[in-house]
Structure 1
Amino acid sequence: MPQVIIVEDEEVLGRNIATALTRMGIEAAVAKSCAVARALIAAASPDLVIADVNLGDGDGIEMLGDWRQDHPDVPVIVMTGQDSLSNRLRAERLDATAFLSKPFAMSRLRELILILLAEGNTGTGPVPNGPSVMMYSHDTIGLGHMRRNASIAAALVERVPNASVLMMVGCPAGMVFELKPGVDFVKLPSLAKLGRNQWRPSHLRVSSDMTRSIRMGILERATDAFRPDILLVDHEPAGVWDELIPMLETLRLRGGTSVILGLRDILDDPARTRDQWEQQGKAQAVRDLYDAVFVYGDERVFPSAEHYGLETLRPGHVTYCGYVTSTHDAPKRKLKGTAPRHILVSGGGGRDAYPVLHASLEALSTIAPDERPDMTLIAGPLMDEELSAPLAQRARELGAWFLHRTSDMPALLDTADLLVTMGGYNSVTEAIAARCPTIVIPRVGPSSEQRLRAECLARLGLVESISQEALSPTRLAERFLQFERTSAPQIDVPLNGADKAAALIAKRLSDMQHETSDHERKTHA
């Protein structure tokens, strides 16, 4: 086990760093003075030293001077609340590996320590790689698949600090969400969805066969190099064009990888989905190549396992995780009150959100200027500029705010009296988490997913739904002026799906590690 000595006279900070390292499987000792540090370092032969500059009985850099000459290969991190050119030059003369100015993010310190220990030193040698998790999302029209995986990845590296998560994404915009230390992504060539199970290259001017070949090559090489302990596949059990099947078969033959299918609560019409899965071999893939199925939803809202026959495919291995969404302390809202004064209109990913944003703006234009509510519109990062530009111009004419994207949707929801959005998984669950009254205008097609979600949630009093066929500026304007949530939702839906999925993955990683240790002990014996 690697050993790290922390030289810090501020008791709380020293204890927090030591606790963080212990959770990472690193032995940590704290010295509160130069005298204690000298004795501890001489006796322990540490693999890494973290030292404050100003200590009660001396200077941390001077204290390490003589020892550093005899141990030039041991990484040293100097930290101080007095960031100055003088201290930086002194740390450089000590040949310190890194210099941190207080305050610093504990997550960044953890990541720095893992990197330095993994590079090897004169003590225990290289630290073995931590658990490896690969996540796949094909990503075409929206951001939901990638968003769920990114949320679970963030929760996982908090639970398992030495884990590495590699996300394989096909989103045309690349990775649009902030990644935590320990998480990275590989971009697959982007696809456009033409209809149910029909795709084509969205940017490359090459054939679908060539695009498939490129994507499969990237997946194969990444899997071979990364050697994931866990593979989490979102939504498409066989991948686009069955691109995952060879990789899944290889992993099954090789062993050592637990493969999990993650599904949002509603996929499409249940009967159609079951028939297509059987005809296209997806059901067989789940039976033969997957170890578990996670459903990111609530059985009371939509019994996915029953409707899609998941329990017959993987009996006893289907788990409802709850909804994967951003959770925070949302403001309490009155059930009854005045008409909404601030309306938020969200296009989700934005690829097909133009009708909703356009109708909302035209509805605003029909309201007398002295009665108009404030309005903020978010187009979404995937909306084409030729569509977003006229919407932005119309918003300026009407005095509305227009954003192409946002990095803090929960904050905007907290200040909104009403949300108008499509029926995508992320958009709707974020609204429920924020307790924001919501009008859902589901996508017309090609899938029935959004319509089914809107109907289920409306039936439980969680949202109001208006179909796009019935959508008009006049009807929407009436709701803007009169909308009130008159009754409380019938159920509280679980919104901790990312944490629960991460906990289940962490448990699998722990079990796999114990199985490996037991096997090694038996082999050695």
Structure 2
Amino acid sequence: MSITIAMYSHDSVGLGHARRNRAIAHALAADLPRLTGETVGGLLIAGHPDAARDSLPAGWDWLVLPGFTHTTAGYAARRMSLPAEQMSALRGATVAAAVDAVSPDLFIADRHPFGVGGELTEALDLLRGRPDCRTVLGLRDVLDAPEAAGREWDAVGGAERVAEAYDQMWIYGDAAVYDPRRTGEIPAALAAKGRTTGYLAHGRPDDDGAPAARPYVLTMVGGGSDGAHIALASALSEPPAGHRHLIVTGPQMPTEDVARIREAVDRRQESSPGRGGEPRVQVLRSAGNVPALVRDATAVVSMAGYNSVAEVMATTTPALLVPRHTRRAEQPRRTAALAAIGALDSLPAVELSPQALTRWLAGAVNRRTPRDQVDLDGLTRVGGFAAELIGAARTTPTEVPAHA
């Protein structure tokens, strides 16, 4: 026999949702065959074409939907000239056709239980009619301020509706550090279905990429769509003595912002060339081997998105997080929780400057930051969680629907 997994992420801003699913796909591909004795393959359904740049295990593939972007007025088509409602209908029909064709044993949706504009509703209705399929809603460690999270649950029909659609909820964090069930971000009707995995940190997939010449410090801003202010401040900061500074802008940073950062680096190089004329600051658009770059850096400056933080937490590299302070309270709340236990340092965006980064980097390169106090082994647990669900589905009598 074989096991088929389908995973969904909406991907309107950044690549965090798709990359979280991709990390889980690699973990399931590694562990489920050992746990079940069966081969495993799957389909990752994503909403941004850049997601498909990342490799998948053998037997897995990407399905990239027409894209949404998030605007001040709500969701809008990224490229197509279609109203949001028609985009949701197009994407929903595509997802439903895909899950009908692959007939998954397990379906995992990241963060948005019914997708954009309810686009997952048809697919979930289809899967609920199949007693041999289980459904999981995956949530990051922090959602938002409790009142904002409550409004989002209400907007999709309430926690009870979500609980009817999903068999389990996996929370990708350490409840001893931050538990969204205790803060009120997850309603009581859903909390009973929740299982914390630990952060998806150790064992993240690491694609090939050129290693950086050591020693170096690193700045990374996730997908890059709203990280130009951090990358520019890093470009204007002074690298610690004897160090190079590697800045990864992310593939989604606007080209005009990348140009400004490169111009700042060029001006600094002209006024203060490195030894032998070598550039002291290097700007990369993207890198497939970010986990390795973080591990080998002497210090890292980063935004506080889930995946960036997970990559940092898997190492002992000192880290300074500059959380996004717009749209959601997610990043400041995550940063505060981890800073409170000494796992990293934080800098509010309003205090960001080249001088502040210069001071922090100069001290950080002389130390390491152990993070043994945090549960970072989520990727080693999801295989066991999945095996339990799939096994339970296969032992459910066919005349009793699994979701009854």
Mark yes or no: TM-score above 0.5: yes
1:170-207 deviation line (CA, Å, top 9, x unaligned):
02414132110121111111111125x92111111222
Q: Which residue does 1:146 correspond to in 2?
A: 18
CA contact (8 A) 1:310 1:318 kept: no
- Tell me: CA distance 1:218–1:513, structure 2 relative to 1, closer, same or farther (3 Å): same
What secondary structure is seen at the aligned counterpart in 1 of 2:350? coil
Within 2, Cα distance between the matches of 1:265 and 1:277?
16
User: How far did 1:164 drift?
Assistant: 2.0
Q: Which one has the largest radius of gyration? A: 1
Q: Which residue does 2:138 correspond to in 1?
A: 262
CA contact (8 A) 1:151 1:325 kept: no
User: How far did 1:463 drift?
Assistant: 1.0
Q: Which residue does 1:229 correspond to in 2?
A: 105
Aligned with 2:259 (options 360, 383, 389)? 389
TM-score (normalised: structure 1)? 0.67
Identity of aligned residues (%): 29
Within 1, Cα distance between the matches of 2:266 and 2:296?
21
CA contact (8 A) 1:237 1:282 kept: no
- Tell me: CA distance 1:284–1:311, structure 2 relative to 1, closer, same or farther (3 Å): closer
Within 1, Cα distance between the matches of 2:292 and 2:338?
23
Q: Which residue does 2:181 correspond to in 1?
A: 305
- Tell me: CA distance 1:311–1:280, structure 2 relative to 1, closer, same or farther (3 Å): closer
User: How far did 1:222 drift?
Assistant: 0.8
- Residues 428-439 of structure 1 aligned to structure 2 (within 5 Å): 428-439=309-320
Q: Which blocks of at least 5 consecutive residues in structure 1 are unaligned?
A: 1-127, 329-339, 521-525
Aligned with 1:465 (options 334, 346, 366)? 346
**449-458 vs 372-381, which deviates more?**
372-381
Q: Which blocks of at least 5 consecutive residues in structure 2 are unaligned?
A: 34-38, 205-213, 270-278, 400-404
What secondary structure is seen at the aligned counterpart in 2 of 1:420? strand
Within 1, Cα distance between the matches of 2:292 and 2:191?
41
1:221-240 deviation line (CA, Å, top 9, x unaligned):
11221122211010001211
Q: Is the counterpart of residue 483 in structure 1 residue 360 in structure 2?
A: no
Aligned with 1:503 (options 377, 381, 384)? 384
Aligned with 2:88 (options 212, 224, 231)? 212
Q: Which residue does 2:209 correspond to in 1?
A: none
Q: Is the counterpart of residue 159 in structure 1 residue 159 in structure 2?
A: no
- Tell me: CA distance 1:212–1:279, structure 2 relative to 1, closer, same or farther (3 Å): closer
- Tell me: CA distance 1:228–1:271, structure 2 relative to 1, closer, same or farther (3 Å): same
- Residues 109-120 of structure 1 aligned to structure 2 (within 5 Å): none
Q: Which residue does 1:287 correspond to in 2?
A: 163
CA contact (8 A) 1:148 1:325 kept: no
1:415-464 deviation line (CA, Å, top 9, x unaligned):
21110010111111111111110010011210111111111111111111
What secondary structure is seen at the aligned counterpart in 2 of 1:135? strand
Q: Which residue does 2:236 correspond to in 1?
A: 362
What secondary structure is seen at the aligned counterpart in 1 of 2:45? strand
**227-236 vs 156-165, which deviates more?**
156-165
Q: Which residue does 1:247 correspond to in 2?
A: 123
What secondary structure is seen at the aligned counterpart in 2 of 1:165? strand
CA contact (8 A) 1:148 1:498 kept: no
- Tell me: CA distance 1:513–1:250, structure 2 relative to 1, closer, same or farther (3 Å): closer
1:151-173 deviation line (CA, Å, top 9, x unaligned):
11111122234122111100241
1:45-96 deviation line (CA, Å, top 9, x unaligned):
xxxxxxxxxxxxxxxxxxxxxxxxxxxxxxxxxxxxxxxxxxxxxxxxxxxx
Q: Is the counterpart of residue 276 in structure 1 residue 146 in structure 2?
A: no
**410-419 vs 234-243, which deviates more?**
410-419
User: How far did 1:484 drift?
Assistant: 6.5
Q: Which residue does 2:61 correspond to in 1?
A: 184
Q: Which residue does 2:274 correspond to in 1?
A: none
Q: Is the counterpart of residue 349 in structure 1 residue 217 in structure 2?
A: no
What secondary structure is seen at the aligned counterpart in 2 of 1:410? helix
Within 1, Cα distance between the matches of 2:118 and 2:16?
20
CA contact (8 A) 1:248 1:289 kept: yes
Letter in 1 for 2:218: L
Aligned with 1:327 (options 184, 198, 203)? 203
Q: Which residue does 1:376 correspond to in 2?
A: 246
- Tell me: CA distance 1:202–1:315, structure 2 relative to 1, closer, same or farther (3 Å): closer
Letter in 1 for 2:6: M
